Amino acid sequence: MADMGTDLAIDAKSGQTAPRAEEKAAGSRIGVALGAGAARGWSHIGVLERLSESGIAPDVMAGTSIGALVSGCYAAGRLGELKEFALGLTRRRIFSLLDLSWSGSGLISGDRLRDLLEKQVGEMQFTDLRMPFVCIATELMTGHEIWLRNGPVAPAIRASYALPGVFRPVQIDGQWLIDGAVVNPIPVSACRALGARLVVSVNLGSDAFSGTVVQEPKNFIGSNGARGSDEPPLDRSSALRQMFGGPTSPGLTTVLVAAFNISQDRLARSRLAGDPPDVNIVPRNPNVGLFDFDKAAEAIAAGREAADRVLPDIELALHLLDRAAGL
């Protein structure tokens, strides 16, 4: 694990000094940076699928929050399994994964999600992945941006999506880590540090204020047509109302996530202005709210469409790189 600008990384398991990821990625051409965005992050799956179908494969990857989850599964060769899981989510299934905790440092302990993640990537180490991959997290006590790129993959991904106040922080190497979107929502800089000459980013924040940011519980757990019509309705417990709110006011989790999303959007604009990607993919997800994890099919389709719009730009950029290299 290494902080930004650190020359050497320390393997969290062995304690040995590992080579810099930049050295392992020498000669890399394409870097893909997947940004944060809660349920809209399923769009990343569609983007990566469409790029792959077009013969465009990343040499290095970096991800923040749900972007870390998707890019980590891609680097581990588990994108198909993640897609199958996402498409199988229903509102009842989502609620069953929310292991509420009223005594810890987050409303959701995250143990059930941890078990699912470990089922996907097992005990994989970063060195087992198909390509160099950086997971962005934030050190809770100092606010430092942490680049996780050594040791076990699953805890790094969990740390990257540990939304403050919602999920418990994750301890790695004696540091308490929270969501990387606090400091770097779209990790273009990490891809460049890994040696990418062409950086493609996926920005999920463009529709942050056109979609259903504040949602009522009935929209979260009820049944709306065919998608959830075969499921019995869930009881609206007081805990659920406290988390997601009701018809007249937003709940605690909705307020936390919406406020976080606003600051994340502003930070992403600032960071992208200072270090812009070569190609920016912007999925259009106006109907996918931050908690709409059961709308994976719609989000994946939006990702594919967004990738289609920029494929000519990526192909042109690659042609120019080849020409500059004399190929």
Of the listed 11, 59, 179, 265, which one is catalytic?
179
User: Residue 53 CA to chain centroid, in angstroms?
Assistant: 22
Distance CA 131, CA 116 (A): 23
52 is a catalytic site residue: no
69: left (phi over 0), alpha (psi -120 to 50) or beta: alpha
179 is a catalytic site residue: yes
Question: Residue 8, Cβ neighbours under 10 Å: how many?
Answer: 10
Question: Residue 268, Cβ neighbours under 10 Å: how many?
Answer: 25
Of the listed 65, 71, 160, 189, which one is catalytic?
65
- Location of structure tokens 């990257």: 160
CB 278 within 8 A of CB 317: yes
Catalytic residue positions? 65, 179
